[in-house]
């Protein structure tokens, strides 16, 4: 049994009966059977359905945002933006999938040689709760447009969102079993990966979860794409617009109550900019209003679960015990729900959770450094490598740092890190491997088949 619990009130919203092993088997087989037809449909046909899906998302964005607010605490304004982004990725692949997957002519001694991209079958998606629609749709749109089919194992605390996605796809006119949700626990994922009909796996989640899934997929010789944890560094140099940088850094730390792999987490400030930046940053962080996500006044909701809030608070306490200083927040509020206030930790250094670990919530680690070189060294001093940002008015210098000196899958200059359907998204080191979105993302689960005509 899966339970949907409102993190604002702690009350059970609804309980859902889990799929049995027999039920899972039937669903996977039905999706695999559908693939043998779906793979031969035209791009035009798939595109029309995907555009229908985009229109549905736009028309239902208010109710879907409400569902997210109730199931995982996302404020409605952010929920609406998430659904609009899902519609965008549907439109993008509806318009560009055929172009991305057209045959690539390679000049050789043969009369004709080329690469043909062919779908591989049914792909399993294992997805997290923090962006319960976007994480699925950035996988779903390219996967279905490429001619593959999919099954989803969503996070156990957002079953309502998982079933809503399945219903949206059905309502848009897609075949009944082109995409299905599996209501199962994490302990059943291993058997799903091992199922003969499952050809590959896409996982967004924690680094331990990624290691586990990768090990199982590897033992079955099945490809997987992993988008895992992050400890994104934001470097603030002395020539940055410090007031603007502070606004963007605070927004990047507090979006979705700080529960994002690409949220800003470590703020690395050169000493000449440190006092002024910290003043602006503290003001921006302190200006957030955290409350009921259904309340229009709230700019930040609760965290998704009480246990996640308590784990974050323990990381804060452990960091303080090792010498960090709380200059804002850091106390669990005396109210119902999984709330945690915007928090800033100063004097953060190696050996503290606030430096070494991912803080998956609204806690900012502030680190003072001597100069640019030390900032780059500290930025790269992490096992993660998902996103990063540099704030400077010297764009040429910023580009050089971003392109050549920062170990990350994506790096932004004078803005916070965000995903875009037009650009590849993914990380390095323990933040995972493979790429989603753009032309690279749609090709990840395709057979790049060489065809030669003598």
**Catalytic residue set:** 227, 261
The tally of CA atoms less than 13 A away on the side-chain side of residue 183 is: 21
DSSP lists the bridge partners of residue 403 as none
Are 379 and 388 in contact by the 8 Å Cβ rule? The answer is yes
Are 434 and 425 in contact by the 8 Å Cβ rule? The answer is no
Per-position b or e across 43-64, b if 16+ CB within 10 A of its CB: beebbebbbbbbebbeebbeeb
DSSP codes of every residue in 20-84? PHHHHHHHHHHHHHHHHHHTTS-HHHHHHHHHHHHHHHHHTHHHHHHHHHHHH---HHHHHHHHH
Q: Where are the beta strands (DSSP E) in 353-445?
A: 363-369, 387-391, 410-413, 432-433
DSSP H/E element including 306: helix 306-321
Nearest Cα to Cα of residue 118 among 101, 106, 105: 101
Hunting for tokens 């796996």 — which residue is that? 201
Residue 417 has a CB neighbour count (10 Å cut-off) of 23
Nearest Cα to Cα of residue 361 among 308, 320, 322, 319: 308
Q: How far is CA 376 from CA 22, 174, 404, 432, in A?
A: 53, 48, 11, 21
The widest CA-to-CA distance across the chain, in whole angstroms, is 76
Q: How far is CA 34 from CA 159, 243, 327, in A?
A: 24, 54, 56
DSSP H/E element including 198: strand 198-204
Tokens of 4: 């949907």
Are 439 and 447 in contact by the 8 Å Cβ rule? The answer is no
DSSP codes of every residue in 246-305? HHHHHHHHHGGGG--TTSEEEEEEETTTHHHHHHHHHHHHHT--B--TTSTT-SB---S-
């Amino acid at each position: 049994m899966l339970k949907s619990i409102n993190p604002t009130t702690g009350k059970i919203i609804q309980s859902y009966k889990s799929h049995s092993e027999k039920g899972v088997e039937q669903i996977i087989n039905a999706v695999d059977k559908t693939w043998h037809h779906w793979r031969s449909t035209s791009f035009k046909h798939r595109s029309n359905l995907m555009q229908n899906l985009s229109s549905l998302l736009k028309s239902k964005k208010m109710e879907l945002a409400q569902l997210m607010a109730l199931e995982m605490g996302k404020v409605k304004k952010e929920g609406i933006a998430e659904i609009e982004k899902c519609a965008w990725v549907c439109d993008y692949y509806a318009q560009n999938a055929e172009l991305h997957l057209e045959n690539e002519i390679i000049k050789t001694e043969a009369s004709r040689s080329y690469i043909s991209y062919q779908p591989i079958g049914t792909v399993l998606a294992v997805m997290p709760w923090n962006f319960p629609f976007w994480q699925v749709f950035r996988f779903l749109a390219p996967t279905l447009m490429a001619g593959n089919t999919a099954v989803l194992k969503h996070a156990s605390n957002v079953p309502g969102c998982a079933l809503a996605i399945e219903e949206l796809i059905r309502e848009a006119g897609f075949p009944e079993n082109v995409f299905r949700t599996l209501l199962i626990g994490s302990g059943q994922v291993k058997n799903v990966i091992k199922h003969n009909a499952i050809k590959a796996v896409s996982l967004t989640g924690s680094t331990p979860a990624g290691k586990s899934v990768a090990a199982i997929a590897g033992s079955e010789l099945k490809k997987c794409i992993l988008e895992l944890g992050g400890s994104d560094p934001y470097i603030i140099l002395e020539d940055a617009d410090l007031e603007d940088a502070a606004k963007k850094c605070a927004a990047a730390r507090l979006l979705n109550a700080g529960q994002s792999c690409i949220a800003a987490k470590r703020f690395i400030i050169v000493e000449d900019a440190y006092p002024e930046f910290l003043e602006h940053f503290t003001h921006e962080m302190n200006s957030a209003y955290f409350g009921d996500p259904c309340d229009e006044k709230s700019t930040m909701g609760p965290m998704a679960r009480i246990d996640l809030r308590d784990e974050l608070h323990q990381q804060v306490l452990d960091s303080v015990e090792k010498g960090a200083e709380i200059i804002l927040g850091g106390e669990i509020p005396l109210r119902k729900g999984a709330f945690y206030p915007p928090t800033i930790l100063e004097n953060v250094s190696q050996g503290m959770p606030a430096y070494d670990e991912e803080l998956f919530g609204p806690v900012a680690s502030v680190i003072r450094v001597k100069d640019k070189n030390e900032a780059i060294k500290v930025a790269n001093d992490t096992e993660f490598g998902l996103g990063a940002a540099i704030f400077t008015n010297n764009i040429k210098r910023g580009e050089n740092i971003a392109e050549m000196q920062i170990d990350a899958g994506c790096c932004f200059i004078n803005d916070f890190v965000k995903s875009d359907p037009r650009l590849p998204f993914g990380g390095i080191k323990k933040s995972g491997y493979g790429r989603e979105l753009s032309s690279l993302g749609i090709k990840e689960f395709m057979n790049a088949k060489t065809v030669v005509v003598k």
